[in-house]
Amino acid sequence: MKYELVAGFETHVELATNTKIFCSCTTQFGGEPNTHCCPICIGLPGTLPKLNKRVVEYAIKAGLATNCEIAEISEMDRKNYCYPDLPKAYQISQFDRPLCNHGYIELSNGRKIRILRIHIEEDAGKLVHSRGSTLVDYNRGGVPLIEIVSEPDIRSIEEAREYVEKLQLIMRYIGVSDCKMQEGSMRCDVNISVRPVGSEKLGTRTEIKNMNSINFIAKAMEYEFNRQVDLIESGEKVVQETLRYDDVTNTTSGMRGKEDANDYRYFRDPDLVTINVPRSRVEEIAAELPELPAQKLKRYVEELELPEKDAQLLVKYRKVAEFFEKAAEGTKTPKTAANFIIGQIFRYVENEAEKEAMDIKVTAESLNELIKLIDNGKIRMNLAKSTLDKMLETGKKPSELISESDMAGLDENALAELCQKAVEANPNAVADYKNGKEKAIKAIVGFVMKNSRGKADAMAAEAKIKELIG
Amino acid sequence: MSESKIAGLHRMLENKEISCQELTQAYLDAMERDNGSLNAYVTATPESALETAAAVDEKLARGESIGLLEGIPMTLKDNISTDGIRTTCCSKILENYVPIYDATVWKLLRQQNAVLLGKTNMDEFAMGSSCENSCFGGAKNPHNVNHVAGGSSGGVASAVGGHLAVYGLGSDTGGSIRQPASFCGIVGMKPTYGAVSRYGLIAYASSFDQIGPITTNVEDAAIVFDAISAYDEMDSTSQGRQGEPVCRTLKNDIKGMKLGIAREYLDGVRDDVRQAVEQAAEVYRSLGAEIVFFDLPALKYALPVYYILACAEASSNLGRYDGIRYGYKAESYSDVNDMIKKTRSTGFGEEVKKRILLGTYVLSSGYYDAYYKKAQKLRGTLVSAFSDAFRSCDVILAPTVPMTAFENGHAVSDPVETYLTDICTVPVNITGLPGISVPCGYDAKGMPIGMQIIGNSFEEAKILNAAWQYENAARIYKPSDFGVKL
Amino acid sequence: MVTKEEIMKIAILSKLFVADDEIDGLTEDMGKIIAFADTINNAADEGTDFDHINHLSNVLREDVVVPSLDREKILANAKDSDEGCFLVKNIMK
């Protein structure tokens, strides 16, 4: 029998605010333990939470960017459970009335992964287990999070990968999070079940907690899919449980059963008041949203006439897309800028983090200047390419690297002289050409180009050489 | 003592009839002498009190004017956080806890050079009606030390009634200011929810808790209320006083004022208490006010609604006492879960544990709808019932407690009967309304009887006005034999 | 009626131990309190929607950093601390 994977995601994204969700301590990553703390962070008796305005705004942005409805009225609830990393023994979250509801993310295969809800909540502190003891650091406690809960609409590991990548990209585009999975600012819980292909009924699901790498997610899902299929095929039952993925052994295992079954006793937090987001405010925030990756991709392909593959490479990182748009501005064909970026600049920003930062010596304005020199016939492509390499190395502007004489081109006499030299220096190629090897002429033209340092017009040189060889 | 009112003491300080240090020392000496009998204070702060007093004296010596509360010796209930001064909630679990920040109310008073004499006794985590649920033992009634001071702010009431402080701040979740004030024959006011900041008040039940003044007379309550009722950005539920200072309208004529009496408030109330309230109504008639009777059937839901919701909130608020960051921590344990359970089981007293269990129960899955949700809806019913009542009257008159202070160790053993003593006080906490208790008589044993004046939201000015007029006309207050005699 | 098992279950959720000699008395007390609470559970009155005790909305704070407290103060009330952290010994059995 063939089985199909059914998966849903709960994704925690840390919001890039300056301060924590309920107090004015910094959210900066790192820092000595317990140095980003105040009486509110450590839940001292008598302290009260005060909601950060920007958290609400960022969550609304995230909701709008994932096609959610923004609730006019939402509320904060307490999720009660006792654990040393949770200083109040409850997490302030949203249960009954989350800020965002019923959105979706569209995948490249046209399927929509529905988003059930997005709510705001506080992060917990950090526990370090060492030598049989536990150390507790509350620096991360109170850092704002959004939890994005999808419906179980994902049907393959490829879809899962794309869903997470899209989510990450969108959040980065709208600037609400850096979504650095390795630093934990984006983490995923995945619900997985399997069912025979064609069946409508959902199987028993397991939940793999807290994964912070897309590759791990893919591996864990694959392992878990196979494990569940094996269980069913051997007549056993899948047990509903929470699992942990071990990236060393590439296996999942049940988390140690806590003494108490989860009963979070949610109730409205009496210390916080209603969040009321009028329609007009939603419209204001919507107007502030930048163009989203999906819209950009469409525009690059349809309006800028880039090949889809190129367009995808460019929209994948917000800064790359911004760089491209500035570099291509006012140029004849946007494709030229795209080629320079994908062909040459990407050699300098190889990995994800580098592309994310786009920390290179060339500015988009300089590249734009260079492309305009080509457009205006001042320089040839070959010279432009070598100049860009130099720009990437030195950070200098095209005007600093290309001299007047470079841009002047070759006059007719100089070209004729150089072509004559080329013919004399390449007797073999001349002979080949005369014997009908049309391509042999390229070698002679190449000689001209090289010796003119790219200034010569290849077409004109070829015509001149043909004239000379007769 | 001939003078124990804030305004009078303020004049004496200004006229240099007494120095602030002498005044403070007189209270410290009285505490030394009488606290053994009253057990009102659990922590005394003589050094910082005298330091503040010296600063006030210097100001006076320089000829500077001082504020009304400046240099006046006072006390705080031991659930109001004081930076650098032990704050225990009278619980073993916080026995050595020293806050690192000030509650907003204390910040406000400290800025006015209030002289803090010490922190006062209470039922553990403000849960109780006798002050006997304190890990330090209960505070005693200054009218007769064989009787309880009441609770939970029993220590403040005992100290103020026993002249070991000019005034104090208590907290009121289900009657914890008004009930001990009534038992000790003094004045206590629970302001409208949101009028006074809760920041720094160690939470019992967050949507009920409110800080308010306990004083020997109505004018002092008005002065203290004006000083502490400010909007606070640290408390999301804070609104501050709405309208002008209540002191300005305190002594206004009340001719034509309509006082409502709900029959349900008088059901099951001891005869002498009911009679005292009825006599107070007569005093009001003589002052030109009108008495109207009405029904408030929703009142029957008040007690269960209060206990369900307050305990639910408490079960969550008290989850944080796990021994890790502050407070008592179990000595030996096998793992972290064991440590937390041992800490809590040893650190909390019986009543607190019972309320945590009840609160957990009503929130747990399967029971939430039947108890918590239903109680929340009936809370809504009570809110509308009171708001309807205020269409036909200005203020509501009721007993504060159905009885007078019981003897020490005589708290009823049946848990439900114990809770029934709160029947007259919990409605204003459920509805967020302001209420004040003023003395209105004495029982056969000479123990004080209190009556309650309840107002509409943010109408503290009205209830204080009504209370002052009654106090001035009836002249019920009798000072106890304890404390400062100048 | 509240059972001993229910009391044990909520004790676990409440992170409290209930000693063997306490359980009967506690079950009885809780039974009385719950029975008392049941008077509203059985109330014919459907009730009125209750929002929040003081009907406020959008009480929000600007996203501006205020310096955190000194770590010595943060850790001052902890019974045990080490390496700048709150410490619980022997979390692992």
Other beta carbons within 10 angstroms of residue A244's beta carbon come to: 15
CA separation for the pair A289, A173 (Å, rounded): 9
Beta-bridge partner residues of A80? A90
Q: Where are the domains of chain C?
A: 4-42
Q: List residues in chain A touching C: CB distance below 8 A.
A: 17-19, 24-26, 32-39, 41-42, 50-56, 82, 84, 128-129, 132-138, 259-260, 263, 265, 268, 270, 272-276
B270 close to B403: Cβ distance less than 8 angstroms: yes
In this prediction, residue C68 has a pLDDT band, given cuts at 50, 70 and 90, of very high
Cβ atoms of B452 and B175 closer than 8 Å? no
What is the enclosing helix (H) or strand (E) of A460?
helix A458-469
pLDDT tens profile C14-56? 999 998 888 888 888 888 888 888 888 777 777 888 877 778 9
Together in a domain, A172 and A315: no
Q: Which residue has the higher pLDDT, A446 or B428?
A: B428
Chain A residues with CB under 8 Å of B84 CB are: none
Q: How far apart are CA A325 and CA A341, in angstroms?
A: 11
Residues B21-68: pLDDT tens digits? 999 999 999 999 999 999 999 999 999 999 999 999 999 999 999 999
* Residue B87 distance to chain C (closest CA, Å): 12
Q: Are B153 and B200 in contact (CB under 8 A)?
A: no
Q: Which CATH number covers residue B58?
A: 3.90.1300.10
Kindly report the pTM of this predicted structure.
Answer: 0.91
> Is A50's CB within 8 Å of C61's CB?
yes
Q: What percent of chain B has pLDDT over 90?
A: 94
According to the model, what pLDDT value does residue A120 have? 98
Cis omega (within 30 of 0) for bond into A199: no
Do residue A106 and residue A164 come from a single domain?
Answer: yes
DSSP for residue C57: B
Facing residue for A259 by CB, picked from C12, C83, C84: C12
Residue in B81, B91, B129, B152 annotated catalytic:
B152
Give A-chain residues touching B200 at CB under 8 angstroms: 46-47
Interface size A-C, in CB pairs within 8 Å, comes to: 120
Are A418 and A404 in the same domain? no
> What pLDDT does B418 receive?
74
Q: In A, which residues are within 8 Å of C69 by CB distance?
A: 37-39
Task: Annotate B269-307 with DSSP letters as a single string.
Answer: --HHHHHHHHHHHHHHHHTT-EEEEE--GGGGGHHHHHH
Asked if A135's CB is within 8 angstroms of C86's CB, the reply is yes
Determine the Cα–Cα distance for residues C7 and C29; give it in Å rounded to an integer.
11
Give the model's pLDDT for residue B486: 67
CB-nearest partner of C68 from A25, A273, A275: A25
Partner-chain contact C78 B326, CB within 8 Å: yes
Q: Give yes or no: residues A276 and A313 share one domain.
A: no
Select from A381, A408, A435 the last residue of a domain.
A408
Domain count, chain B: 1
Tell whether A460 lies on the interface with B, counting CB pairs under 8 A.
no
CA C77 to chain CA centroid, Å, is 21
Range of the domain at B142: 6-296+383-474
B–C CB contacts, 8 A cutoff, strictly below = 154
| Contact residues on chain C for B92, CB-CB shorter than 8 A | none
Residues in chain C: 93
Which of A49, A50, A134 is facing B336, going by the closest CB pair? A134
Q: Is B176 a catalytic residue?
A: yes
In chain A, the number of structural domains is 3
Residue B2, pLDDT score: 60
Same domain? For A60 and A124 the reply is yes
Of A43, A141, A96, A83, the residue nearest A260 (C-alpha) = A83
Q: Quick check: B377 and C7 CB within 8 A?
A: no
Is there a contact between B206 and A51 if contact means CB atoms under 8 Å apart?
no
Quick one: which of A37, A32, A7 has its CA closest to A20?
A37
CB contact under 8 A, B376 and C78: no
In chain C, residues with a C-beta closer than 8 Å to the C-beta of A56 are 60
Instruction: Give yes or no for a contact between B383 and B452, defined as CB atoms under 8 angstroms apart.
Output: no
Reduce the DSSP state of residue A430 to 3 states and report it: helix
- Is the pLDDT at C93 greater than 50, yes or no? no
Q: Report residue A377: phi and psi, to 5°.
A: 70, 15
Q: Please name the member of A50, A136, A265 whose beta carbon is closest to the beta carbon of C85.
A: A136
Q: What is the value of ipTM here, to two decimals? A: 0.96
A45 and A165 fall within a common domain: yes
- In the block, residue with structure tokens 């006390």: B75
Q: Which two tokens stand for residue A175?
A: 């600037």
Taking only Cα atoms into account, the Rg of chain B, rounded to an integer number of angstroms, comes to 21
Instruction: Using the predicted structure, report yes or no on whether residue B198 has a pLDDT greater than 80.
Output: yes
Task: Tell me the average pLDDT across B156-165.
Answer: 98
Do A396 and A434 lie in one domain? The reply is no
Which of C28, C40, C71 to mutate against chain B (most B CBs within 10 Å)? C40
Question: Domain with A433 in it: what CATH number?
Answer: 1.10.10.410
Q: How many CB atoms lie within 10 A of CB B177?
A: 33
The token pair that represents B276 in the structure block: 């005292």
Token output for A337 = 């800028």
| Domain C4-42, architecture per CATH | Orthogonal Bundle (1.10)
Closest-CA residue of chain B to C13:
B360
Q: Least CB-CB distance to B236: which of A89, A90, A272? A: A272
> Is B342 among the domain residues?
no
Starting from the edge strand earliest in sequence, which strands make up the sheet with B73-77, in order? B41-44, B115-120, B73-77, B167-172, B210-215, B187-190, B435-442, B448-455, B395-399, B258-262, B290-294
C17, C11 contact by CB (below 8 A): yes
Structure tokens that stand for B464 in this block: 């204080």
What is the residue-level pLDDT of chain A in tens, covering all 470 positions?
Answer: 899 999 999 999 999 999 999 999 999 988 999 999 999 999 999 999 999 999 999 999 999 999 999 999 999 999 999 999 999 999 999 999 999 999 999 999 999 999 999 999 999 999 998 877 899 999 999 999 999 999 999 999 999 999 999 999 999 999 999 999 988 899 999 999 999 998 989 899 999 998 989 999 999 999 999 999 999 999 999 998 889 888 888 888 887 555 546 799 999 999 999 999 999 999 999 999 999 999 999 999 999 999 999 999 999 888 899 999 999 999 988 999 999 999 889 988 888 778 878 888 899 999 999 998 888 877 888 788 888 988 988 888 888 887 766 665 667 778 888 888 888 888 888 888 888 888 888 888 888 888 877 777 777 888 888 888 87
Q: Identify the DSSP state of B369.
A: I
A138 in Cβ contact with A97 (< 8 Å) = no
Position C90 scores a pLDDT of 67
> Is B311:B356 a contact under the CB 8 Å cutoff?
yes
> What percentage of chain B exceeds 70 in pLDDT?
99
Which partners does chain A have (≥3 C-beta pairs < 8 Å)?
Answer: B, C
The whole-angstrom distance between B174's CA and the closest CA on chain C is 15
Distances from the Cα of C86 to the Cα of A81, B92, B138, B242, B348, angstroms: 19, 21, 34, 43, 22
Interface membership of A135 toward B (CB under 8 Å): no
- Cα-based angle B328, A22, A242 (whole degrees, multiple of 5): 75
Helix axes C4-13 and C20-41, enclosed angle (nearest 10):
90
Minimum-distance CB partner of B325 among A42, A82, A263:
A42
- Residue owning tokens 């503040």: B52
Q: Are B154 and B180 in contact (CB under 8 A)?
A: yes
Report pLDDT digits (tens) over B273-284. 999 999 999 999
Contact C61 A52 (CB under 8 A): yes
Q: What is the pLDDT of residue A463?
A: 85
For residue A254, list its beta bridge partners. Answer: A243
The residues, ordered by sequence, that sit 6+ positions from B227 with a Cβ below 8 Å of its Cβ are: B68, B69, B108, B109, B112
Q: Is the CB of B348 inside 8 Å of chain C's CB atoms? A: yes
Residue from B19, B176, B238, B480 carrying the catalytic annotation: B176
Could you list the residue range(s) of the whole structural domain that residue A381 is in? Answer: 291-408
Both A17 and A112 in one domain: the answer is yes
CA C67 to chain B, closest CA, distance in angstroms equals 14
Q: Is B47 near chain C, with CB under 8 Å?
A: no
**pLDDT for the residue numbered A434:** 87
Look at residue B75 and tell me if it is in a domain: yes
Interface of C with A (CB under 8 A): 12-13, 15, 51-54, 56-66, 68-69, 71, 74-75, 82-92
Q: Is residue B11 part of a domain?
A: yes
Q: Which residue intervals of B371-425 are DSSP H helices?
A: 374-389, 415-420
Residue A258 CB coordination number (10 Å)? 12
Task: Tell me if A429 sits within 8 A of A422, measured CB to CB.
Answer: no
pLDDT tens-digit map of B93-124: 999 999 999 999 999 999 999 999 999 999 99
Residue appearing with tokens 């009777």: B293
- What is the structure's pLDDT at A439? 85
Residue C88, helix vs strand vs coil: strand
Coil vs helix vs strand at B473: helix
Structure tokens, C6: 């229910």
**Band of residue B362 on the pLDDT scale cut at 50, 70, 90:** very high
Tell me which chain A residue has its CA closest to the CA of residue C51: A274
CA distance A417 to B381: 103
Specify whether A319 is located in the same domain as A172: no
Helical axes B460-474 vs B271-286, angle rounded to 10°? 90
Distance CA C37, CA C16 (A): 22
**Option in B81, B336, B337 nearest A46 (CB):** B81
Residue B394 within any structural domain of the chain: yes
- Residue A398: per-residue pLDDT: 86
Please give the average per-residue pLDDT across B249-264, as a whole number. 97
Residues A153 and A12 in one domain: yes
What is the Cα Rg of chain C in Å?
23
Residue A120 near residue A59, CB atoms below 8 Å: yes
Within a domain: residue B370? no
Residue C59: is its pLDDT beyond 70? Answer: yes
Distances (CA, A) of A209 to A187, A192, A245, A465: 9, 11, 7, 70
pLDDT at residue C92, as a whole number = 42
Q: Rounded CA gap, B56 and B88, in Å?
A: 29
Longest dimension (CA), chain A: 98
Q: CB-based contact (8 Å) between A75 and chain B?
A: no
| CB atoms A82 and B326 under 8 Å | no
Q: A371, A387, A408 — which closes off a domain? A: A408
- Specify whether A186 is located in the same domain as A328: no
C53 neighbourhood in chain B, CB within 8 Å: 193-194, 207, 237, 432
- Residues from chain B that touch A89, judged by Cβ atoms under 8 A, are 316, 319-320, 322
